[in-house]
Structure 1
Amino acid sequence: MQERFMKLIENFNHLIEQIAEKEFAEKWRVDVNDGSVAFGSARENWALSIPFMKKKKVSFKDIYKIYDESIPKEERQKWVWENAALYEVVLDMAVKHLPNPLEAQKYRIPKIWHGDADSEFGKSLLNCDKNGELAFVVTRIVIDSRSGKEVSAGRLYSGTMKSGMDVYFNNAKKAGKIQQVLVYNGIKPEQLESVPAGNVLAISGVDVDVGETITQKEQTSFEEIKHIFQPVITKSIEVVKTQDLPKLIEILRKVSKEDPSIKISINEETGESLLSGMGELHLEIIENRIKTEKGLEVKTSAPIVVYRESVLKSSAPSEGRSPNKHNSFFIKVEPLPQELFELIDKGDLSEGRIKKKSEQVTKVLSGIGWGADEIRNVKDVYKGNMLFDETRGEVHIGEVIEMVMDAFEMVMDQGPLSREPCMNLKVTLVDIKLHEDAIHRGPAQVYPAVRDAIKEAFKSASPILLEPLQVHMLEVPEALMGAASKLVGSKRGQLLDMKQEAGTMILEARLPVAEMIGWASDFRSATEGRGVSSLRDQSFERMPASIQPDVIKSIRDRKGLAENQ
């Protein structure tokens, strides 16, 4: 066990060396001897670190008594509280090893806030100035179990948060008022009149999302909080009793705020609600929480895998004509260059419509060698796809470009193959012919023309379906390695790596999500309950051509799509 722990610590430090900047690589290393590593059990509420063991004069041998059932449970719990309390060890670690905000913000802020560092607001952020303008970022939404109201927790980077303060929500573009200011004493929130910069705190009385930047007047927002993995499994969820439908809609909205990695799609007219998460187990946990914590009886469908649509090559321009035959849009579709996709994926190139010259877009794209004309053509960055406008000399383009972007986003949300979202597409408006009279080029004419042009171009560019793949780290006893490997092979999976550590085999396997329905029970059975499977990475990759037609047909059948839809 000791050998295994030391290997884990060594691997962690190696990871820090790889990703940390040079000035922090050594500082951020952890060491058992200085108390930056602790061992414990959240279930049993105990923890130990080397400095703490010396202070309390306890050893790992003493921990055995926690699990000795011949000792009364109350006596064991009392011993833990007095000699190895988890909260005390963790708090000691935080005090000794976490950086002082006054120092940390000087290197944190340039990484997470991209406004003017020389402005008064920028200086307040860098200096963690409690007398500066307010800057609070929401990192978590908690629903109070007693009142049912939202509490928004986060870090205060500048200024002083006060009860009753008028504030501005920069992402939502609206004003609000702080009702209460809270700090947590363990899990118990305690109300204060004010809290200065540098603290982690919570506020009530505001309706915001995770990632919101709260200031006193409009300012540049902090960068978007992005989750590592996208939802790849969907279930439909409905109430057992029809009269509970409004309650379900409200609960789902709260759940999506508490866990932003869950995506909720609600059709209030039909009552259909879709719950999308990172895996089958993730959705099962949310479903159980709705039943137990929220007290609502629900039923769910079988898991549905989320796919993506893309293309392999560039199409010729396709013409889309408006229903009145007076307007034409010529559009081509091609794979998005890898360097652009990576910029979007990393968050360097922000998503959104570009209605005027954007300094951020100009800076990022000029950094990869783009000229001013190419940059000017970028009109929309949407869910890993981009729209370009290469038209020249059309005087009415400004009147229809918003509708073109609307139609582009519609097709990106529901691709031509099977109405699955599109990914990695570069869509270019090459030419355009518009009627002189504005009444003949309204939404009813522009939307279908642009959609048709994109779809036809897409179909002629070697369309493909991308399936979600996950890389899992599998830890199994040596004797059961064969069973684990056989299971991976039966799931269309691929073993990427294999190594041995202190009697345990660690396998790295890449598996299609479509084959992982029921994975938890299958893996538990194959490893006799002694294996551990953890998600390491996720990607969308081209589906084998041999199974693509059948998968597309099954998706279309499930959605009830006719041949020409």
Structure 2
Amino acid sequence: MDRADADIEACCDSVKKKLDCPPVLLQLPYLKEDKLAGVIDVLSLHLVTYGKDGKQLERAELTERSDLEIWTRAMEARRNIIDTISGYNDELAEIVIENDSLDKISTDDVTTGIRKATLSNVVVPVVLGSSYKNIGVQSLMDAIVMYLPSPKEQNGRFQCFEDSLCARAFKVTHDKQKGPLVFMRIYNGSIAKNQKIYNIQQDITEQNNRLYVAYADEFKDVESVGDGNIAVVAGLKRVRSGDLVCSSSGACQKAKTKMLKSLGRKDDATIDDLFGRGAKVPEPVFFCSIEPPSLAAQTALEQALEELQREDPSLRVTHNEETGQTVLAGMGELHLEIIKDRILKEYKVDADLGPLQIAYWESPLERVTNKHTYETKIGTSKQSVTVSLSVNPVGNKEVKRVLRFDKSADASSNIAGIHPKHMVAIKTGVDVGLMHGPKISSPVVNTEVVLHWFEAGRGTSSSMITATVTQLVQKLLRDSGSDILEPIMNLEVVVPDEYLSTILADLSRRRTSVNNVFIRGNSKVVSAHCPLSELKGYSTILRTLSSGTATFTMEFLEYQKMSSVEEEKAVKEVRGF
């Protein structure tokens, strides 16, 4: 609420459209000299004001005599809340009828009605504040406890675990004394100190050594934490943000079987959401190389990147075998700048970042089939591999399984006889082959690889099979040719009216598709789609064009095929010639 373009009405409209149920505004802003100084608690009719850092607050009861204007606004808002909630809660409606007035309803009765309506998903409680000024933090925490459901009051999808543990790791931090700390929301059962837990996403078992409950930045040692609470777990080395954990692999399988049975059919979306890959993280759109300032700092940099990846699933760190460089990929320029700053401040490594590059994709143009045989002799061992594959473009639909099998009679018979160890090597070869496209060595998407035939001589190593499959996939991609796909961003620019025409003129030069221009508060908002390549350094340009008065936000939308002219520019930019 401290932003110049803050608009409560627009926010509530957005909540109503996105969540498809009416918002219930529990607070009103209290302004002092046109700046947010506190909030008006509509239900209790109190004015809550905050100190400079937001930690100290004062509550003052509003009265009709001393605070007529504020009291009148608060009473009107309170009546609207009671009127709305009584339409969804019969008990509150009866209390209103008995009292024959909206003004005589107690705060406890209204709070109970709001909670029941929230649990039924028919209203959304809304509170106000400013994270920058720490205004409204306490009331937000109180509202979470008062109105939001515990896991037991939700739809019961975690009840398939019965009495055993089920928890979601939602945050990972690294403490210099305590080591890695994993914050977990306990959905079901409880977690105990020194308990072994099974990570469903990574298929591994680990044992914690300490258990805490967090009180802001203080941690209290506990022996166990039950459902509905948040546990801080020490001693886990592999758990990442978004992972789902339970007590054992057996408990996981039992829960999965019970869920399938209760659904009465195979619901892949629900099963995959709960037992599958964990939190869905968008693909990175920017990447750059990162190097330590000296060889002596290499180990410290590697440790920093490993820990930061655990904390932030949207950060990707890979090693380019061709150049020997470590590559950092993230969601934007600011994201990577923050990572560099954290490495410097927290790990004391002044890492060097290379120039930012766009994360392009490539997509094959046509179906191509080929067969490849490779024979070699290592010592006295003769190794041979014969494999037949097809690369098949599949448009823009999501491909869950990249490797598919030829279903003809001869092919099915051959594929059925492939040793599981060889099949793993084939899949690895396909994955590696699709990592680098033929034009600019970008990842290849919208593709299926079909296996038609496979033979391997006795004693042929898995690495030989993987290398042969990778070579064939690369050859098929070169024969097929490819289009380059670029990331398109949802862009929103908030700008004063006097600079609107200047900003629109600049956006038109950036291959931008403007969807809408509307009013928000005293500003104009431009909603548009724009290629990410056109937004490099846009924050500096926008400040210059608007004399520092405009702001923008952007988020990834989709990948789109580039025109031949823009594709040529992208190839030149990536290759350098």
Please state which band the TM-score falls in when normalised by the shorter chain. Answer: 0.7 to 0.9
Question: 1:318 and 2:339 equivalent?
Answer: no
- Determine whether 1:407 maps to 2:459: no
Cα pair 2:425 2:463 within 8 Å, conserved: no
What's the counterpart of residue 282 of structure 2? 229
Q: Secondary structure at the match of 1:454?
A: helix
Query: Which residue of the other structure, out of 6, 10, 14, is the alignment partner of 1:7?
Result: 10
Distance in 2, matches of 1:481 and 1:319, equals 59
| Secondary structure of residue in 2 paired with 1:230 | coil
CA distance in 2, matches of 1:77, 1:499: 33
Q: Cα distance, 1:305 vs. partner?
A: 1.3
Q: For 1:159, which of 177, 189, 212 is the aligned residue?
A: 189
Per-residue deviation, 1:105? 4.7
Alpha-carbon distance, 1:445 to partner = 5.2
Alignment-derived partner of residue 100 in structure 1: 150
| Aligned-partner residue type, residue 389 of structure 2 | I
2:24 to 10, 31, 39: 31
CA contact (8 A) 2:371 2:389 kept: yes
Matched, 1:56 2:46: yes
3-state DSSP of counterpart to 2:434 = helix
The worse-fitting range, judged by mean Cα deviation, of 465-474 and 451-460 is 451-460
The structure 1 residue matched to 2:340, chosen from 287, 299, 313, is 287
Identify the residue that residue 493 of structure 2 maps to in structure 1: 474
1:71-110 to 2 correspondences below 5 Å: 80=57, 86-106=136-156, 108-109=157-158
Which structure has the greater CA radius of gyration?
A: 2
Aligned length: 465
Q: Does 1:547 align with 2:540?
A: no
Give 3-state SS (helix, strand or coil) of 2:328's partner. Answer: strand
Q: What is the match of residue 374 of structure 1?
A: none
SS for the counterpart of 2:451 is: strand
C-alpha contact 2:438 2:482 (8 A) present in aligned 1: no
Q: How far does residue 99 in structure 1 lie from its aligned partner after superposition?
A: 1.5
| Partner Cα separation in structure 2 for residue 461 and residue 392 of structure 1 | 25
- Distance apart, 1:82 and its partner CA: 5.8
| Structure 1 residue 39 displacement after superposition | 8.4
Q: CA deviation at 1:533?
A: 0.9
**Alignment map for 1:163-562 (pairs within 5 Å):** 163-207=193-237, 208-218=239-249, 219-220=252-253, 222-266=275-319, 272-313=325-366, 315-323=367-375, 327-336=385-394, 338-339=396-397, 341=398, 381=401, 385-390=402-407, 391-394=411-414, 396-398=417-419, 400-432=422-454, 434=455, 437-439=457-459, 442-443=461-462, 446-557=465-576
Whether 2:149 is the aligned partner of 1:149: answer no
Q: What residue identity is the alignment partner of 1:426? A: E
Aligned-residue CA RMSD in angstroms?
3.3
Q: Is the 8 A contact 1:386 1:425 kept in 2?
A: no
In the TM superposition, residue 463 of structure 1 has moved relative to its aligned partner by 1.2
Structure 1 CA distance for aligned equivalents of residues 319 and 30 of structure 2: 43
Checking the alignment, whether the CA contact within 8 Å between 2:207 and 2:236 is kept in structure 1 is yes
**Is the contact made by 2:435 and 2:444 (CA closer than 8 Å) also made in structure 1?**
yes
Which runs of 5 or more structure 1 residues have no equivalent in the other structure? 18-25, 67-72, 110-116, 125-131, 350-380, 559-565
- Tell me the equivalent position of 1:371: none
How far apart are the structure 1 equivalents of 2:6 and 2:536? 35
Q: Does the 8 Å CA contact 1:468/1:541 hold for their aligned counterparts?
A: yes
Q: Please, what TM-score do these two structures have when normalized by structure 2?
A: 0.72
Residue type of the alignment partner of 2:11: L
What is the Cα deviation at residue 261 of structure 1? Answer: 0.9
What is the letter of the counterpart of residue 137 of structure 2?
Y
How many angstroms does 1:253 deviate by?
0.7
Question: Alignment partner of 2:514: what SS?
Answer: strand
1:175-206 CA-partner distances (Å, limit 9, x unpaired): 33222211121232222121111212211111
The 3-state SS of whatever aligns with 1:467 is strand
My pick for the range that moved more, 514-523 or 205-214, is: 205-214
Q: Shift in Å at residue 448 of structure 1?
A: 4.5
Separation in structure 2 between the aligned mates of residue 244 and residue 414 of structure 1, nearest angstrom: 30
Aligned partner of residue 417 in structure 1, secondary structure: coil
How far has the Cα of 1:38 moved from its partner? 7.5
Q: What does residue 69 of structure 2 align with?
A: none
Kindly tell me: are residues 79 and 206 of structure 1, through their superposed partners in 2, closer, same or farther at Cα, counting changes over 3 Å? closer
Tell me by how many angstroms 1:95 deviates.
Answer: 2.2
Of 181-190 and 198-207, deviating more is: 181-190
What is the match of residue 377 of structure 1?
A: none
Q: CA deviation at 1:506?
A: 1.5
**Kindly tell me: are residues 270 and 426 of structure 1, through their superposed partners in 2, closer, same or farther at Cα, counting changes over 3 Å?**
closer
Per-residue CA distance 1:441-463 (angstroms, 9 max, x = gap)? 54465344433432333334341
Counterpart secondary structure, 2:206: strand
What is the CA-CA distance between 1:311 and the residue it aligns to?
Answer: 1.9
1:350-380 deviations in whole A, cap 9, x for unaligned? xxxxxxxxxxxxxxxxxxxxxxxxxxxxxxx
Structure 2 unaligned segments of length 5 or more: list them. 61-128, 130-134, 254-273, 377-382
338 and 490 in structure 1: CA distance in 2 versus 1, 3 angstrom threshold:
closer
What is the TM-score of this pair, normalised by structure 1?
0.74
Give SS of 2:347's match: coil
Deviations 1:5-58 (A, max 9, x none): 2122112211111xxxxxxxx3xx3221x45x87899xx996525337x54345
Q: How far apart are 1:224 and its partner, in Å?
A: 2.9
Q: Give me the whole-angstrom Cα distance separating, in 2, the residues matched to 1:206 and 1:409.
A: 29
Q: Is the 8 A contact 2:389 2:473 kept in 1?
A: yes
C-alpha distance 6-393 of structure 1, shift in aligned 2 (>3 A): same
Give, in angstroms, the shift of residue 250 of structure 1: 0.3
The secondary structure found in structure 2 opposite 1:275 is: strand
SS in 1 for 2:220: strand
The structure-2 alpha-carbon separation of the partners of 1:537 and 1:175, relative to structure 1 and needing over 3 Å to count, comes to: closer
Contact 1:469 1:540 in 2 (8 A): yes
Q: How far apart, CA to CA, are the structure 2 residues paired with 1:520 and 1:225?
A: 33
Residue 127 of structure 1 corresponds to: none
Shift of 1:233: 0.7
Distance in 2 of aligned mates of 1:522 and 1:143? 36
